[in-house]
Amino acid sequence: MESNKVLNAEGLACPMPVVKAKKEIDNLNAGDILEIHATDKGAASDIPAWTKSSGHELLQQDNEGETLKFWIKKA
């Protein structure tokens, strides 16, 4: 899937993936797509939870080996 920006949060532990995601998405425009790569196992449910409560839209979620990938559309 196409994205406007890729955030590499691999190797980062809780709460850094969501903190970085927040900082990164603040720099994007509404409708832009942020792609997040993370390896923290908690991110599998943390990123969707963050997306939901911050009002953005989770378009797709994927695993690639150890890496979790998310595509989020900014509200």
Contact residues for another protein (CB under 8 A)?
11-16, 18-19, 21-22, 50, 53-55
Distance CA 21, CA 51 (A): 9
Distance CA 30, CA 32 (A): 6
Please say which residue, 24 or 35, places its beta carbon nearer to another protein: 24
Q: Among this protein's residues, is 14 annotated catalytic?
A: yes
The one catalytic residue in 13, 14, 19, 44 is 14
Please say which residue, 16 or 58, places its beta carbon nearer to another protein: 16
What is the β-pairing status of strands 67-73 and 33-38?
A: antiparallel
Minimum distance from residue 65 beta carbon to another protein (Å): 18
First to last CA, the chain: 18
**Where in the sequence numbering do the catalytic residues fall?**
14
